[in-house]
Chain A
């Protein structure tokens, strides 16, 4: 250990500053008119995506489980929040999606969603339960690696097919929209939007802090051990299935909260969000930002989505999928550690070229172990 890399030494203060900027400075700037409401709304969305990205990273970066169903949990959280918001619209009669299938009354499962605490409970409970049941079945029979990815993909696909049906009474392919009130505040007010942004930023900070703590704990150690060699952990006497199940449920709930905060900010939720390609897109953010780190996925989510907002309007719109796809291939091939790992990667290249140039290179035996360690 000669010296810690720069990012490592400044890690905690840097993160704290970032947190203060996101939670306090940005909303203040917005309140005084330096940041437009539109930009703030966009950032609210990016931060939700950041939370979703962390939930994927918990599974993929730290446990080695590539889950393609995170979009499902995200959307389920959104639907739970959407149900509450639909009940809050008020007015006579029922919304169109119910009257369209001949319903005059709210279905009974909608009624308790009038209460916000109940909705919150469901945001935790519904995706959590689904993740628990699915995870229990999958991990018990030791489905792992690619199989796990493909099964979660199938789960998402099946759920999307179900939610597209009008008979499910969840709005069919139009989903829920036209929200008005949340906890007595009008969703159209700028102050409510700012409030939602602050809540999102706070949740992000909490999730980052919580995941940092979790991954640095003993649990995190076992988690990474499972990622690197599950069988050795299993043979050492750990019930790996339970560890995986725990982290799977946790990350489903985190994704669900992200979705629940996403819906009031964008004002719509429909089953097209419940798509495998959305999960894969979120996986791109994680890969680009740097998996196996907590802050990397957030950076990836924000940068890819900011780029997307910029690129998917006007003349460059057609080229956006090309850019996204191309970036993905390049990152997988050449930047396995993402943006976060880029400084170390460049340092490595520089060191390598320097060694290659210097003729009086010391013999391998005298070089410190770090240098020959790949």
Chain B
């Protein structure tokens, strides 16, 4: 019993202590916050600008995001200086909504509690009649210094790195201590790299020669792109001051960065060439079927691409708020499903198969009505399909208007991915992936399905296949529909990276034919290689000449010369027939 009694007070005491510690902790952290608010509040009513600056500078000791929000409100003129009857000025923030007379309820800036009049009733003020706290440039500068420190401590990694990189701008030596302090606590590798870079850039301005040399060497090792121009300036200055060691170090650093830049450019060109090649491949693969395999010179190929792109547009609107169309004066209203942000991300998954199907259906219609009469007259198929392309463009104009329409990209296609200073845009990565997928599907359909077998048989020798009992007409229709469907897919995909308009197809028609002809008619593999080759050549020339149009003209010239050397393209389909 006694034992219990003796024990109880200690337990109580320890409990009390724990509680009090808890309260102290809570109080201290609250007190921190309060003191920031209090400091800012005091600053708003401080007597002189110098006093204001001193108060705000004191916040540098404990940078907190709270201070930055208060600064922003201050700068925006949202802090009002309320003078009561006694002549005492209280900084307040407005809250709630305006009363009919235009007045707002108020909160005391220093602690966020409602401001009460001496009689205990809440004070309401009209922002039009009460003076707002103002800032001058000196004060804003100090505020900026505080908020820079705050962002250096930002918990969000990308924001922190951005702040670290920004801190090097202007090469202010007084920023060094904060950066060095951060370096001691920072754990993240990319943030550390950014820190090293910023510290070195600032140290380029150091009065000590050996520090400058070390900074140059460091930047050279880091292959820092942002430091390039700064090092150049330092180099000219060092040359003037005949500062030998710095000149040497700066030259070495510039050389290292130059090498890095040329590597990045080469990699970037290769990547862009690959993605351009993929675009060519995607737009040409349908033509490789209709023109390459079937021999139909489908000048309406571009319009099938447009059909696919418009299908994506319609699907996007069906997933959103619907679409109003007026084809040929008939007003047509398609209801939307209102899926909001989810729809904007998902519609593309539906749009891909839909654009294939719609374009394939239009293809079937065209084959049955016109193309089937022209298999033996290839040049005339060129003319007829050109007429069809005019008609289709005009129908698209009548239906969707002659302006470009807006097709938005899903969120997962924007953004990019940076590896070692080389930027890979997601949409370009997507382009390449999509091209690989389409080639794979086409190859599987042609080589691993019975339909593919029939297609190849009919395309090699229509009459012979017919004699063997193949229903060649049906195979023709399906093949043409398949080619047109692939063009439609290309359209859905182009809607993500370029404009969608009634005559968009015209942009790709020459390129598509070139790609197929260079690759060798009747050979899918040839089309793949020629598309990648043309894409890489185009981008390399563009990089080398710095002029996209001249590059393109040279590529066209090169293609014409190439066909001198191999008139039937890269891969020749051998046959014994002469004409």
Contacts and interface: CB of A to CB of B under 8 A. Distances in A.
Interface of A: 60, 66, 134, 137, 140-143, 145-147, 149-151, 153-155, 157-158, 161-162, 164-165, 229-231, 276-277, 280, 283-284, 287, 318-319, 321-322, 324-329, 332-333, 336
A301 to B, nearest CB: 16
B350 interface: no
A343 to B, nearest CB: 21
B391 A137 contact: no
Contact of B564 (A140, A164, A229): A140
Interface in B207-239: none
A344 to B, nearest CB: 19
B510 A324 contact: no
Most buried by A among B397, B553, B557: B553
B387 A327 contact: yes
A147 B567 contact: yes
B510 A276 contact: yes
Query: What size tier do the contact residues of chain B reach?
Result: 35 or more
A60 B379 CA distance: 10
Nearest to A153: B510
Interface string B543-573: 0000001101100110111011101000000
B343 interface: no
A153 B393 CA distance: 20
Interface string B510-521: 100110010000
25 contacts: A137-B561, A146-B295, A146-B297, A146-B379, A147-B563, A147-B567, A149-B297, A150-B514, A151-B517, A153-B510, A153-B513, A154-B514, A155-B556, A157-B510, A161-B556, A162-B549, A277-B506, A321-B394, A322-B395, A325-B387, A325-B390, A325-B394, A329-B391, A333-B370, A333-B374
Given A231-B578, A318-B397, A333-B373, A328 B390 contact: yes
B390 A324 contact: yes
A154 B518 CA distance: 12
Contacts of B299: 280
Given A140-B564, A321-B391, A150 B517 contact: yes
Contacts of A325: 386-391, 394
B401 to A, nearest CB: 12
Given A325-B391, A327-B387, A158 B564 contact: no
B119 interface: no
B525 interface: no
B556 A158 contact: yes
B288 to A, nearest CB: 14
Contacts of A276: 510
A305 to B, nearest CB: 16
A147 B517 contact: yes
Contacts of B398: 318
In the complex, the 7 A-B pairs of residues with the closest C-beta atoms, listed nearest first: A328-B387, A325-B390, A325-B391, A158-B556, A325-B387, A332-B384, A329-B387
Contacts of A318: 394, 397-398
Interface in B500-550: 506, 510, 513-514, 517, 549-550
Interface string B264-289: 00000000000000000000000000
Interface string B367-388: 0001001100011101110111
A332 B374 contact: yes
Given A321-B393, A321-B394, 17 more contacts: A137-B561, A142-B567, A145-B378, A145-B379, A146-B297, A149-B382, A150-B513, A153-B510, A154-B560, A161-B552, A162-B549, A277-B506, A287-B383, A325-B389, A329-B391, A332-B383, A336-B380
Contact of A66 (B382, B388, B506, B553): B382
A264 B288 CA distance: 44
B156 interface: no
Interface of B: 295, 297, 299, 370, 373-374, 378-380, 382-384, 386-391, 393-395, 397-398, 506, 510, 513-514, 517, 549-550, 552-553, 556-557, 559-561, 563-565, 567, 578-579
Interface centre among B299, B374, B393, B510 (most CB of A within 10 A): B510
Contact of B556 (A157, A231, A336): A157
B44 to A, nearest CB: 57
A322 B391 contact: yes
A329 B381 CA distance: 9
Contact of A328 (B383, B397, B560): B383
B517 A284 contact: no
A143 B297 CA distance: 16
Contacts of B297: 146, 149-150
B384 A280 contact: no
A194 B370 CA distance: 45
A198 B388 CA distance: 37
Contacts of A161: 549, 552-553, 556
A336 B381 CA distance: 12
Nearest to A320: B394
Nearest to B552: A161
B386 A328 contact: yes
Contact of B579 (A153, A229, A277, A283): A229
Contacts of A231: 578-579
A326 B395 CA distance: 12
Contacts of A150: 297, 513-514, 517
Nearest to A136: B564
A146 B378 contact: yes
Nearest to A151: B560
A326 to B, nearest CB: 6
A150 B517 CA distance: 8
Contacts of B374: 332-333
Nearest to B373: A333
A142 B510 CA distance: 21
